[in-house]
Structure 1
Amino acid sequence: MSVRTPPRLLDLAGTSLLRDNEASAIAALEYLPTELFPSLFLEAFFGRRVETLKALLQAWPFVRLPLGGLIKMPHVGPLQAVLEGLDVLLAQKVRPR
């Protein structure tokens, strides 16, 4: 019998945010703690929330975004959104956060 570790409250909040409303999630990005971004990114990617992915990338608070593991997956739509979001981010003269 194995004991599962319960999810962190921070992860539950992020999952709930994405489930409620995509527009609300996008509007809240500037107020979210940076440690929530990686789990939100994965949740949006696998949930195929294209607009949320684009907004997440434009507000991405880290210097790196490791995509290697996602490239091999058959999620063309979300991956296209990631690339479009990166394109917008690179075009910005002022970086967020």
Structure 2
Amino acid sequence: QRAGRAGRVAPGTILHLFTKVFHEKCMSEFDEAEIVRIPLEKTVLNVKLLLSRFGTVSQLLAQSVSPPPPERVLMAMKVLYEVGALTRNDEEAEVTELGRVAVH
């Protein structure tokens, strides 16, 4: 980002403090979306509590800019059910009191 600004916004030079090989092998051009990287349990609880009247968790998350894989959504719901944060292990599940506390 700064490389694009150097010389365009104001006179300047950019100095990269890493090798070209390191850049090509270790640095991605774009960061992976957070929803794809993080555990989905808290996201599932938030969607259930705040957006459930607009559709199921799977439907709503599938519409996000970088949707998580459907199997990760189902796994998150399974985990939430197993710990007692959801009443059932499916899209019809309600958030329990434990789930309400856990989301905050």
Query: When the two structures are superposed, what TM-score results if normalisation uses the length of structure 2?
Result: 0.30
Larger radius of gyration: 2
TM-score by length of 1: 0.32
